[in-house]
């Protein structure tokens, strides 16, 4: 395979009909180019989506109330109900597989109009009441100051933490927000932290950067919410499927609040673990589809190479006959033809691979220049080194297969018949 004369013959044969060689190589080039680009695009979509949820506790589930759909114990269907503070201890006492449990209250939302005032500045933001454990389920990183802590809960402190967009709207560019006061729905709260969300999943809707969070107990007392709880966030102990906790928690709450065990509507829930499995299945499916389409396109190019090699063999029948007559072995003839096929296939494939990777890199540079990269659901288009090696290996094998059929056709012709061919 490393015979210099052999490679000179191969290059000479390809140069004799450059247009045909170019068109033959294009099919292979396009197949590998499309495989790389589609795979990189699929990976970019996966990176973009997963970057928005990867920091979220994957063993978490969330629960809210809905009107009942089944009459039970004298209560009519359509009954509205709420979780209560006592449910917190009840769940902890009766459900041993819970790692973190955090209730949440929904205050005024950005859709309800301006709810935040500071001097002459006003804004509309989403306001929540949370426990410190919520940040272990849905992580937030303090940029300045701190998060809500247990002392804030116990002492009902009128403090809050705010997202980056709140800072932009309510403060001047050179102002220090920590320690300042905001009037939230008519009540003053001191800002103790500016926070950045680690995920884009927002339980409650809206942009997370437009969020204001205060202590759960403070919101209940300040806005006269009694002992209502609007929402529960739960994570299971390590190694315990959160689906098990989800089903058991629903049973406990239905029993406690006199709701029919057959009522599937009364408790709404969202299971991150199940959504995670769905996402992984989706992205695996995209990668499989990418390989099917890419390899299908590549096979079309390989078939083209094989057909062109058959044409070349027919045109060179006389030449092959002379080679056989002066002592060329069938193995040498086969080696020559297969090497020619592999050379053409790998060269075209390598160019397609290089251009595909180059295009992905240019796309990545364009995406990274976006002023808000965290908001992009398409990021880091890339292919792994293992995939590049696999693609090149496929090309080599395909080139061998594409050359073997014409090669066997060439050596099947008797030398005397080949010499007589015109």
Tell me what pLDDT residue 418 has.
47
Tell me what pLDDT residue 167 has.
95
Residue position matching structure tokens 């000179």? 8
Tell me what pLDDT residue 394 has.
76
CB contact set of 359 (below 8 Å; sequence gap of 6+): 37
Residue 287 tokens read as 């990668």
Is the pTM here over 0.85, yes or no?
A: no
Tell me what pLDDT residue 333 has.
67
Give pLDDT < 70 ranges for the chain: 1-17, 20-21, 24, 50-55, 110, 204-205, 305, 307-334, 336, 370-378, 405-422
Structure letter (DSSP) for residue 241: -
The distance between the two most distant Cα atoms of the chain, rounded to a whole number of Å, is 105
Distance in angstroms (rounded) separating the CA atoms of residues 286 and 41: 10
Taking a C-beta distance cutoff of 8 angstroms, is the pair 202, 56 a contact? no
Residue 99 tokens read as 């790692």
Tell me what pLDDT residue 354 has.
86
- The chain-wide mean pLDDT, for the chain, equals 82
Tell me what pLDDT residue 146 has.
96
Per-residue pLDDT of 307-333, as tens digits, reads 666 666 665 655 666 665 665 666 666
Handedness of CA 377, 378, 384, 388 (dihedral sign): positive
| Extents of the domains making up the chain | 4-53+277-420, 60-272
Taking a C-beta distance cutoff of 8 angstroms, is the pair 403, 337 a contact? yes
Distance in angstroms (rounded) separating the CA atoms of residues 189 and 127: 12
Tell me what pLDDT residue 1 has.
47
Residue position matching structure tokens 């300040």? 222
Host H or E run for residue 123: strand 121-123
Residue 105 tokens read as 């209250």
- Burial of residue 32, with CB atoms counted within 10 A of its CB: 0-12 exposed, 13-18 middle, 19 or more buried: buried
Tell me what pLDDT residue 8 has.
66
- Burial of residue 25, with CB atoms counted within 10 A of its CB: 0-12 exposed, 13-18 middle, 19 or more buried: buried
């Amino acid at each position: 395979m490393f015979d210099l004369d052999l490679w000179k013959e191969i290059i000479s044969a390809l140069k004799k009909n450059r247009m045909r060689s170019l068109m033959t190589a294009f099919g292979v080039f396009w197949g590998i180019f499309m495989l790389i680009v589609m795979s990189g695009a699929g990976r970019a979509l996966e990176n973009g989506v997963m970057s928005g949820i990867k920091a979220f506790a994957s063993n978490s589930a969330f629960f809210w109330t809905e009107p009942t759909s089944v009459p039970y114990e004298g209560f009519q269907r359509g009954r509205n109900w709420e979780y209560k503070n006592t449910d917190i201890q009840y769940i902890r006492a009766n459900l041993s597989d819970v790692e973190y449990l955090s209730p949440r209250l929904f205050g005024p939302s950005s859709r309800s109009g301006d709810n935040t005032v500071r001097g002459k500045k006003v804004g509309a933001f989403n306001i929540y009441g949370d426990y410190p454990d919520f940040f272990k389920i849905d992580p937030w990183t303090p940029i300045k100051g701190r998060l809500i802590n247990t002392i804030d809960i116990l002492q009902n402190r009128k403090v809050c933490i705010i997202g980056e967009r709140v800072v932009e709207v309510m403060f001047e560019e050179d102002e220090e927000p920590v320690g300042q006061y905001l009037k939230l729905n008519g009540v003053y709260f001191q800002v103790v932290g500016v926070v950045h969300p680690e995920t884009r999943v927002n339980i409650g809707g809206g942009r997370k950067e437009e969020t204001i969070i205060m202590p759960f107990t403070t919101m209940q007392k300040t806005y006269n919410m009694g002992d209502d709880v609007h929402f529960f966030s739960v994570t299971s102990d390590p190694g315990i499927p959160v689906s098990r906790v989800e089903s058991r928690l629903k049973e406990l709450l239905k029993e406690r609040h006199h709701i029919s065990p057959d009522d599937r509507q009364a408790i709404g829930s969202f299971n991150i673990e199940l959504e995670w499995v769905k996402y992984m299945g989706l992205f695996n499916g995209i990668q499989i589809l990418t390989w099917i389409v890419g390899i299908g396109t590549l096979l079309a190019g390989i078939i083209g190479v094989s057909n062109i090699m058959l044409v070349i063999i027919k045109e060179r029948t006389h030449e092959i006959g002379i080679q056989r007559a002066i002592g060329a072995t069938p193995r040498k003839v086969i080696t020559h033809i297969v090497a020619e096929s592999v050379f053409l296939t790998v060269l075209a494939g390598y160019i397609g691979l290089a251009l595909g990777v180059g295009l992905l890199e240019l796309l990545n540079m364009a995406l990274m220049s976006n002023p808000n990269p965290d908001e992009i659901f398409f990021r880091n288009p890339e292919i792994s080194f293992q995939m590049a090696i696999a693609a090149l290996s496929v090309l080599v094998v395909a080139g061998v297969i594409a050359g073997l059929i014409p090669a066997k056709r060439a050596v099947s012709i008797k030398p005397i018949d080949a010499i007589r061919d015109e």
